[in-house]
Amino acid sequence: MNIKHFISFVLLFIIVISLLSGIATASDQKGRSYSIPSASIDLFVEENGNLHVKEKIHYSFIGTYNGVYRDIPIKSGEKLANLKVYAEGAYCSYNVTNRMDEKSIKIFLYSDPQKSAPINDRDVDVFIEYDFVNVIKIYNDVAELQYKLWGEGWEQDVGHLTANIHLKSNNGVQYWLNPPYLVQNTTWHNQTLSITTKPIYSANWFELLMAIPSNQFLNSTPYALRFKSDIRGYLEITQKNYENELNFKTKVYSLLTILIILCALFPLFIYFKFGREPKIDYLNEYERDLPSNDPPAVINALYGSELVGDPDINGFRATIMDLIDRDYLRFNEDPSNDENSLALKITYKDPSKLKNFERDVFEFFKKFEEDRIVNLNKLKDELKKKENAKIFMHFYLNWKYHLKEELLDDETVKKVFHKKGNRYLKIYGLIGLEAAFFLVFLMGDNIPAAIYAKYAAIILGIVAIISLITPAKIPGQWTDYGRLNYEKWKKFKRYLKEFSMIKKHTPESIEVWNKYLVYATAFGIAAEVIMDMEEIFPLDQLARSAMYNFHYWGGFNAIYIGTNSGMSVGYANVGGGAGGGSGGGGGGAF
């Protein structure tokens, strides 16, 4: 996968998760916010068929607000009349916009009786009263009241909703509350049904379905609809079907949650199956001599890079250092008087003896030489240009290809390291990330089991991302031979990094130290080793070391910055029943 596409996909996944995480806020660019800690609604079922509604919404404002709005859906044949709006905690005025299927109430809130200043940092109770005509439907056996006590159109969650349904009598009344998992408590107080809910999140609804004996109504009911049929059996069947569907979805989502969690644990199986390292009989604390005479680029690829068998830029730099150590490239040892003399000279040593990957580095410098001299400061600046960065990438990718072809073929790497576990983990990561992305969008239901499944999918996505960026050495497995050599080179690196051990066991000569510096470059710790050299060797000895001077005068730093520029610029250029009742709607603030 292209690295830019992968990063973009991961960022998109994180953004989507943030948007769908269920954390609702009403903050805006002005730094203000509001919440609805509680709300109440009273429904008065009158004998003439009228439904009188009284809403109370408790707002808590932080910052300056001009008011709130309330949208009330109106179905065909229904009518909203006798509207009253008032507030406690603020002065108010309002206007109403009538639409085809909705009445929109815009309520302006003021902090002064002149109604000239908006509210700021206060709690306000807004009351809305109205008569809802033709909402109640009267049949031969019972009357039906289906009403959304809280609609899905609210911007903000409500901490809890209290609903009171006032009837002539509770005798023979049947009722259902949907979805049932939002119900906190229900009680009858004489002829009034009181309901308390749990928190209702934005985009969720809560509905009452009630079958009321027809004898609670007058013979003449001008404010209700009448039908010459029975309805009770239909209501019971409809409710039973809704509950069965809800139970089925709950079981499916619960099973899906378990499956997703098991999938999220799959990397552990990969690790225990393919990633556990063999035990070896090796107890050395340090290695003071080079464990092998393999080229530094090979050591970088096998024991220094993130992907075993795949060399990185430190290996390329180590190859440069190796060519300097072997005098194919020679550093100007005293550039103190002229920054243009911070340069590498291409010597006349026969390059035909070089391996192909070494010749790639050699030819790279020849591309930028003038009279066999490569100005390192100029090279550093040149590699920031797109065309030169492409040239660098050409040589760098050729270097990797030839190194693998000559010294790091599949059979050679297999003798050192088993990549099967890493390959399986990366495949899992790609599939897991795509599955998590799909599942988060798929699970649009608001039932608790679906929310848990969505959280599980988010966890799966995080595990998948971790799987994709996990170094190959964790899910992969060293062979006995590879583990032994890995430990030896690891202890040699430890020796180079710990000054106390170097001081106690100093290399025999500056020449040996130069060789160590080449391998330190392969591990990316050259700067630390240079500091140790300055503590150990006298200045006159250091002055005779081309490798040291290359670092001291900034030659390596120029190469380091230049190759970083070449990599970054070069890589940038390569290649969406229940719930059908009247009422509901929603609202917000402005």
Render pLDDT for 336-388 as a digit per residue (tens, 0 to 9). Answer: 455 556 888 999 999 999 999 999 999 999 999 998 999 888 888 888 888 88
Residue 59 lies in a domain: yes
**Which of the listed residues 172, 198, 230 is the one where a domain comes to its end?**
230
Distance CA 399, CA 358 (A): 7
Does residue 287 sit within a domain? Answer: no
Residue 25 confidence (pLDDT): 45
Main-chain dihedrals φ then ψ at residue 171, nearest 5 degrees: -65, 130
| 306 and 200 assigned to the same domain | no
CATH number at residue 84: 2.60.40.1730
Lowest mean pLDDT among 3-17, 152-166, 198-212, 358-372: 3-17
In whole angstroms, give the CA distance from residue 269 to residue 290.
Answer: 36
Helix (H, G, I), strand (E, B) or coil at 502: helix
Residue 261 has a pLDDT of: 93
Which of 25-39, 176-190, 371-385, 556-570 tops mean pLDDT?
A: 176-190
Residue 178 lies in a domain: yes
> Do residues 213 and 341 both lie within one domain?
no
Tell me the residue type at 460.
L
> Phi, psi (5° rounding) for residue 473?
-70, -20
- Give residue 254's pLDDT band: very low, low, confident or very high (50, 70, 90): very high
Helix (H, G, I), strand (E, B) or coil at 531: helix
At which of 230, 259, 282 does a domain end?
230
Q: What are 405's two structure tokens?
A: 């072809």
Question: Which residue from 330, 309, 311 is spatially nearest to 321, judged by alpha carbons?
Answer: 330
Query: Mean per-residue pLDDT for 217-244?
Result: 90
Tens of pLDDT, residue by residue over 205-214, are 999 999 999 9
Cα gap 304→308, rounded to integer Å = 8
**What would the two tokens of residue 547 be?**
């490798």
The residue from 230, 248, 268 where one domain ends is: 230
Count of domains observed in the chain: 2
Say if residue 96 is in the same domain as residue 171.
Answer: yes
User: Do 187 and 335 fall into the same domain?
Assistant: no
| Residue at 327 is within a domain | yes
pLDDT of residue 307: 84
Distance, CA of 430 to CA of 408 (rounded, Å): 27
Q: Is the pLDDT of residue 426 over 80?
A: yes
Let me know whether 99 and 208 are in one domain. yes
User: Are 222 and 304 in a shared domain?
Assistant: no
Q: Is 256 a member of any domain?
A: no
In which region does residue 535 sit, left (phi positive, over 0), alpha (psi from -120 to 50) or beta (all else)? alpha
Residues 92, 198, single domain; the answer is yes
Q: Select, from the ranges 18-27, 466-475, 566-575, the one with the highest average predicted confidence (pLDDT).
A: 466-475
190, 320: one domain: no
> Is pTM beyond 0.75 here?
no
Run of H or E including 64: strand 64-65
Q: Structure tokens of 258?
A: 């378990």
- Tell me: the pLDDT tens digits for 35-64? 999 999 999 999 999 999 999 999 999 999
Structure tokens at 384: 């920031």
Give the Cα separation of 23 and 35 in Å (integer): 13
Binned at pLDDT 50, 70 and 90, residue 320 comes out as very high
Residue 358, classed as helix, strand or coil, is helix
How far is the C-alpha of 119 from the C-alpha of 110, rounded, in Å?
A: 5
Closest-CA residue to 168 (of 61, 321, 289, 49): 49
**Is residue 171 in a domain?**
yes
Task: Identify whether residues 210 and 309 lie together within a single domain.
Answer: no
pLDDT of 443 over the 90 cut: no
- For position 149, what pLDDT does the model report? 93
The amino acid present at 337, given as its one-letter code, is N
Length of the chain measured in residues: 590
Assess whether 545 and 397 both reside in one domain. Answer: yes
pLDDT of residue 131: 93
Query: What does pLDDT average to over the chain?
Result: 85
CB–CB of 275/476 below 8 Å? Answer: yes
| Least confident residue range of 362-371, 418-427, 530-539 | 530-539
Q: What is residue 15's predicted lDDT score, i.e. its pLDDT?
A: 54
- On whether both 82 and 206 belong to a single domain, the answer is yes
- The answer to whether position 500 is within a domain reads yes
Q: Report the run of H or E that residue 196 belongs to, with start and end.
A: strand 192-197
CA distance 183 to 197: 5
Same structural domain for residues 407 and 329?
yes
Residue 17 CA from chain centroid, whole number: 6
Asked whether residue 494 carries a pLDDT value surpassing 70, the answer given is: yes
The parent domain of residue 513 ranges over 296-411+478-570
Q: What is the pLDDT of residues 121-143, one digit of tens each?
A: 999 999 999 999 999 999 999 99
Instruction: Tell me if 442 is assigned to some domain.
Output: no
DSSP letter assigned to residue 118 = B
CA 218 – CA 134 distance, rounded (Å): 15
